[in-house]
Amino acid sequence: MQDRIDVSKAARGAGMLEAREIVFAYGRGRDILKGFNMSVKAGERVALVGPSGCGKSTLAQILAGMLRPKSGEVTIDGKPLPKKGFRPVQLIYQHPEKAVNPRLKLGKTLTEASSPDDALLAALGIEKAWMDRYPAELSGGELQRFCIARALAPETRFIIADEVSTMLDVITQAQIWELLCDVVSARGLGLIAVTHSAALAERVSERIITFDDKNSPPIK
């Protein structure tokens, strides 16, 4: 009810994650993103493709609200990303070993955001015995499953997968993507896959956004 005044604006962006005119630079360096625009609907799967160093991962962090742009804004349902509390846009990192606390047993890491149900854990192939282990005792592919389960909390609306499978062998890669796509479509979440593999982008997304060399992605 308190949104009544904003009703037209909210209706316009309902169920959408939008980035408008994003400009970003690290410190006083050159602008890495120069007025970037994109939008993803709930239930849509989009891939961001481009060469290394073109700003894909930076954009992923901005969309998730982990970095603040120099100018421009990121909105969800037409409203800015929440500054505190649960983040509806969850980022899954390229290096799972860097995204978990090395001194926490994985059972604790898993429940940092919510308590994933057994069905999700089974679908992700997470074994009960792994809960008592430390991150160093699991392989990258196994750790990545924990990071995915952690990101798939009930309040999550959008998932950004930033090169989540580059360090995995092809079978584990296919396993992880199959279950990620299943969960995302079952829950109607939006998915943004960041990758530099065109073949992978074709497989996992409905729409591909390509960054060109000049770091100024086309507006779609």
Binding site for another protein (CB under 8 A): 51-53, 125, 139-142, 166-175, 177-178, 196-197, 199-200, 202-203
CB of 145 to another protein, least distance (A): 10
Of the pair 61, 197, the CB lying nearest another protein is at 197
Instruction: For residue 147, give the 3-state DSSP assignment.
Output: helix
CB of 96 to another protein, least distance (A): 12
Of the pair 109, 205, the CB lying nearest another protein is at 205
CB of 141 to another protein, least distance (A): 8
Using the structure block, give the residue that is written with the tokens 């983040």.
87
CB of 178 to another protein, least distance (A): 5
Question: CA–CA separation, 200 vs 47, rounded Å?
Answer: 9
Q: Which residue(s) pair with 23 in the sheet?
A: 34, 71
Using the structure block, give the residue that is written with the tokens 């929440």.
82
Q: Which tokens belong to 88?
A: 């509806």
Q: Which residues touch 116 (CB under 8 Å, ≥6 apart)? A: 110, 149, 150, 152, 153
Of the pair 90, 94, the CB lying nearest another protein is at 94
Of the pair 75, 144, the CB lying nearest another protein is at 144
Q: What length does the chain have?
A: 220
CB of 204 to another protein, least distance (A): 8
Of the pair 16, 174, the CB lying nearest another protein is at 174
Q: Count other C-beta atoms under 10 Å from residue 76's C-beta.
A: 24
